[in-house]
Amino acid sequence: MNERDSQGLLLSEFRRAFGVIRRLMRRRLPPRSTSDYATHVPILVGVGCSLRIAKVLEFGAGFYSTLTFLNRSAFPDITSVYSIESDSDWISRIYVAAKDDPRLKIRRVPEPIESILAELDLAEYDLVLVDSSTETARRAALIRQLSHRSTETYLVVIHDFEIDLYKQAAKGFLNRVDYSAFNPCTGVLWHAKWDGKKKTLKDIRRIVSRHAKALAPDDIESWATVFRKELLFSHDGTDRLTKASGG
């Protein structure tokens, strides 16, 4: 082996080692939150405060997500929340917690919960939350099917997005912003190109990271106050960004 080949081999080994170190650093997460069911709430609040989200489709109803969508401080534009849930007892508990809010409708669908996708016109919704199923393979199957709906314009928010199986299932999406200030993590994904979308979502990430040590993830009112103060909004006569045409 001559000197040039030796140098090339060393450079190749260095690049490989550097790539491994970089991947490990990216995967370093904070300790798992004691409020692990609520770690996606700050991201949801940021989206609700910065974008006109009127209609939500939710796979997996919950005390944190469903009630956050119905909270007018976090989602002032919400007109309907349609939740898909497999547990009938859980559905009853969520309805009680929501105080029979007329904007909420929950439909029981047995697993596999993704079987309902063929019946739904997803274009009706501004945001789709994926936080369903106790089996990772089932949730991954739902994410994969959503990733193939490449003509849709809604945002898809995925809880527990530190799980590799979910990331692999989401590879079909054109755009993605990850949030890891709280563990479990959250991913926001979408297909269509909306003006200002990526910058806004990155601003949300920056704000969540800045306040993650001071605010509990389920403190909806405090997060809403923070976002209203710190996000840069468009000057359209309101305090919320608007979708680009076609969304």
Mean pLDDT of 207-229: 97
Q: What is the DSSP string of 157-198?
A: EEESTTSHHHHHHTTT-SEEEEE-SSBS-EEEEESS--TTHH
Q: Which residues pair with 4 in a beta bridge?
A: none
Strand partners, 238: none
The count of other CB atoms within 10 Å of the CB of residue 195 is 14
Neighbour count for residue 1 (Cβ, 10 Å): 7
pLDDT on residue 70: 98
pTM value? 0.83
Q: What does the pLDDT look like over 100-143, one tens digit per residue?
A: 899 999 999 999 999 999 999 999 999 999 999 878 999 999 99
Q: How far apart are CA 54 and CA 68, in angstroms?
A: 13
- The Cα–Cα gap between 70 and 47 comes to 14
Supply the mean pLDDT for the chain. 86
Q: Can you tell me the mean pLDDT for 56-60?
A: 97
b/e map 146-168, b = 16+ CB within 10 Å: bbebeebbbbbbbbbbbbeebbe
DSSP 8-state secondary structure symbol assigned to residue 243: P
Q: Degrees (nearest 5) of the Cα angle 217, 214, 156?
A: 30
pLDDT of residue 21: 39
CATH topology of domain 31-230: Rossmann fold (3.40.50)
What does the pLDDT average to over 80-85? 98
Q: Alpha carbon of 178 to those of 15, 17, 101, 198, 245: distances in Å?
A: 25, 24, 31, 11, 25
Q: Please report the DSSP string for 18-45 in residue order.
A: HHHHHHHHHT--PPBPTTGGGTTHHHHH
Answer whether 52's CB lies under 8 Å from 241's CB.
Answer: yes
- Give pLDDT, residue 19: 46
